[in-house]
Structure 1
């Protein structure tokens, strides 16, 4: 530990280099061959496969685990990629504890599921050396994909595989979307997100153009005129406001920006972090920000959520992870005011309770010391380009069709589904199939 207790404010280098390395190492180290075979042998290979039903991409989980058990992990990888071309990243970041592993018969019977996520990572890592798919003959059709995140990449790959020419546009300087910029560093180490994108694009037929977004160099009218189809997978651009007095003060920041800066850092000792950090929100982003603030050396980190802990979007595993790293989880509290002279020094909360008429404040308040506050209370769409919306997202059909002919959407920017990497991959894949059928006259 550095001399942070003698240094007020937000400073970098609170820890020594060994601590940074340990804190941000792989959350789940990869299985070796023997460990994978032992883990695979625990699978009952259920005929009705509740794990497969729980997977948003419908991977044939019993089949790929059987392939691992019989010593053919490369075949297992192909079983996974057939449904989820980003199966490598999903194995690292997917909340398997609330999806496939939660319904595993071993979990039901023994409280210890087959480690499906770790087995998926083991298999997919075996096929990341060369791209396993070839393009079909060219169809002469061109498709624009806006957003190089999980939905856009999944859609682009499936379209390219079927012989269409694809141009992906993305606002950021690197492709990958939330996989590259929005996931905790300890979930995706060794630059895996960038390596996976490079591997995916190596199928060919996909042109990547960075630094372009709708409203900033791109217009839906022009894209619709220049391409045979358009897929929107740009995620959510803005961050919701706290809606309380003083939130414009210095060091009240967006959690997504904090995570992004951390993910792109080559030297964690240069990232400043406060002594008293407060994260507002109850989802995965809030937990990722809170845990990483603690791992960077913050002395006290509180995660504050307006409802009960059972209502948090973050899984119980994520909540337990936060608690194990020393994060305090405070529930039934909503921000009322940010106090400080120029920069935040305290944040005031009101206690809340659930009533028949919704969430209500009790009238009691409390304050937490804070020199750094991170907002993780949801994001907004930004420019909807005149498409019909459902709440804060683009309204789509089950196959991703929007209110405009020739335009599809999927991932976080589209209605329906959970805001998960694996869901975005499924929506991009399904939209690509519908785009292909439409372009080929099906």
Structure 2
């Protein structure tokens, strides 16, 4: 990765800290890497990809110089394939399954996927066309990865699709929630445009349940796909967290992607509470904003953290320090009401919980205080429970109940995909998984609504 620029000195340096750190493969590197591929029959890398991209096929097209064909192969299977080329844990998925792991080094599948999709972005390629209109209408609530995937598939099947998006722009997590030095907004915007140009209407700044009701959508549309994701970070449940210097990690990362990078310091000493990918993103953003000291505190150990290994390594290279078995118990303020410290206590690991992570218990007489100017909460996200109840949908603590085969909810013509159906203990909630679920919901709708002869593309 690139070296972090001198902190807090130059505006140019601070802005450079938020430019993409990995430049990708050049043409010669991509050609050499693609020619290393064995183009396996019944390739294990395809099986390891949640969207089942035909990886040998797209790599072979790179080797032959057919970059549009390569990008089309990728995006055919994964409507957010340009994003996933940057953010997927490829070492756990496709590259982890590569047969060359047993002899040399795995093919750099993620980098090759990025090479092909970057070419398509740079050359403003429109890879797909809308299908012949079939007279049916579908509403998609939420314009994140799952929503875009559903809308893209349905538009290609010939449906009139409208996406209802609460934010100013569509793209969800990809547009707002993944740090710009790993995923620039232009990548997500291109993927959104690929969907919009299939005659999909995207109504931004529109909140379902506020600006339009679910019942209205059920009346006007033949089916509805609910892909609302999750909300803000929950409260820590400790004294002092109402102070101004306590931030929401989701909102903090969003600010770095939507507002100009300035010399205004976030704080000299920053502590992030949590150890998931969002916590890592918040910590690295704080470091790149010029904070002199950034710490992550987590009540378990590195073994139990949910962040990817490459995220963990990335944070350490940005001089983020980690404090394991540490539980915050109070945010302390100075005489002027500003955050000045975080009181914590040490924890001990106990037996494993249902999800495999071990329980924790406080260590007696272990309290201590760390100096801090800003505390960033990154302990997961709230569910849109009230919205689901307003819609009259069956759920379990905010997790929608769906048919595992069709992703149909408790309402006949309402389907769901993405984080809104993701429950603890079901594996990892990844961008690529959300995209696949969006495709599956679209196919289930198509099988139900379309005349039999049009089921095949």
2:302 to 296, 309, 317: 309
Q: Given that residues 15 and 269 in structure 1 are in contact (C-alpha distance below 8 angstroms), is that contact kept between their aligned partners in structure 2?
A: no
Q: Given that residues 265 and 291 in structure 2 are in contact (C-alpha distance below 8 angstroms), is that contact kept between their aligned partners in structure 1?
A: no
Q: CA deviation at 1:441?
A: 5.2
Distance 2:210 2:297 in 1: 35
TM-score, reference length from structure 2 = 0.89
Distance 1:282 1:55 in 2: 25
Question: In structure 1, what is the equivalent of residue 207 of structure 2?
Answer: 213
- Higher mean C-alpha deviation, range 65-74 or range 190-199: 190-199
CA deviation vs aligned residue, 1:84-130 (integer Å, no higher than 9, x gap): 121111112222222222222333444x4321111001112233323
CA deviation vs aligned residue, 1:392-425 (integer Å, no higher than 9, x gap): 3112223321111100111111135532211111
2:400 to 373, 394, 402: 394
1:435 to 445, 448, 451: 445
Give secondary structure in 1 for the equivalent of 2:348. strand
Q: Given that residues 393 and 400 in structure 2 are in contact (C-alpha distance below 8 angstroms), is that contact kept between their aligned partners in structure 1?
A: yes
The 5 Å alignment of 1:214-229 reads: 214-229=208-223
Give secondary structure in 2 for the equivalent of 1:396. coil
Q: Given that residues 417 and 423 in structure 1 are in contact (C-alpha distance below 8 angstroms), is that contact kept between their aligned partners in structure 2?
A: no
CA deviation vs aligned residue, 1:126-182 (integer Å, no higher than 9, x gap): 333231212221111111111011111111111111110011111111111111110
Question: In structure 2, what is the equivalent of residue 159 of structure 1?
Answer: 154
Question: In structure 2, what is the equivalent of residue 94 of structure 1?
Answer: 88
Q: CA deviation at 1:302?
A: 0.4
Q: Does 1:347 align with 2:342?
A: yes
Question: In structure 1, what is the equivalent of residue 279 of structure 2?
Answer: 286
Distance 1:218 1:236 in 2: 19
Q: Does 1:299 align with 2:292?
A: yes
Distance 2:431 2:381 in 1: 16
Question: In structure 2, what is the equivalent of residue 319 of structure 1?
Answer: 312
Q: Given that residues 242 and 375 in structure 1 are in contact (C-alpha distance below 8 angstroms), is that contact kept between their aligned partners in structure 2?
A: yes
Distance 1:90 1:234 in 2: 20
Distance 1:70 1:404 in 2: 48
Q: Given that residues 131 and 200 in structure 1 are in contact (C-alpha distance below 8 angstroms), is that contact kept between their aligned partners in structure 2?
A: no
Q: Given that residues 164 and 208 in structure 2 are in contact (C-alpha distance below 8 angstroms), is that contact kept between their aligned partners in structure 1?
A: no
Distance 2:11 2:63 in 1: 40
Give secondary structure in 2 for the equivalent of 1:127. helix
Listed as ranges, the gaps of 5+ residues in structure 1 are 1-12
The 5 Å alignment of 1:232-311 reads: 232-265=226-259, 267-311=260-304
Question: In structure 2, what is the equivalent of residue 380 of structure 1?
Answer: 382
Distance 1:253 1:300 in 2: 16
Distance 1:271 1:209 in 2: 34
Give secondary structure in 2 for the equivalent of 1:278. strand
Q: Given that residues 156 and 166 in structure 1 are in contact (C-alpha distance below 8 angstroms), is that contact kept between their aligned partners in structure 2?
A: yes
Q: Given that residues 8 and 263 in structure 2 are in contact (C-alpha distance below 8 angstroms), is that contact kept between their aligned partners in structure 1?
A: no
CA deviation vs aligned residue, 1:341-387 (integer Å, no higher than 9, x gap): 42221112222222127321222222221111111111122221321
Distance 1:226 1:337 in 2: 50
CA 271–408 in structure 1, closer or farther in 2 if over 3 Å, else same = farther
1:117 to 110, 125, 132: 110
Give secondary structure in 2 for the equivalent of 1:353. strand
Listed as ranges, the gaps of 5+ residues in structure 2 are 1-6, 353-358, 453-457
Q: Given that residues 127 and 194 in structure 2 are in contact (C-alpha distance below 8 angstroms), is that contact kept between their aligned partners in structure 1?
A: no
Question: In structure 2, what is the equivalent of residue 145 of structure 1?
Answer: 140
Give secondary structure in 2 for the equivalent of 1:379. coil
Q: Does 1:370 align with 2:372?
A: yes
Q: CA deviation at 1:320?
A: 0.6
The 5 Å alignment of 1:32-71 reads: 32-71=26-65
Over the aligned positions, Cα root-mean-square deviation in angstroms equals 1.9
1:199 to 194, 198, 223: 194
- Higher mean C-alpha deviation, range 166-175 or range 48-57: 48-57
Distance 1:306 1:106 in 2: 38
1:25 to 11, 19, 26: 19
Q: Given that residues 150 and 425 in structure 1 are in contact (C-alpha distance below 8 angstroms), is that contact kept between their aligned partners in structure 2?
A: yes
Question: In structure 1, what is the equivalent of residue 10 of structure 2?
Answer: 16
Question: In structure 1, what is the equivalent of residue 362 of structure 2?
Answer: 361
CA 109–390 in structure 1, closer or farther in 2 if over 3 Å, else same = farther
Question: In structure 1, what is the equivalent of residue 355 of structure 2?
Answer: none
Distance 2:277 2:290 in 1: 20
Question: In structure 2, what is the equivalent of residue 10 of structure 1?
Answer: none
CA deviation vs aligned residue, 1:21-43 (integer Å, no higher than 9, x gap): 43222222122211101111232
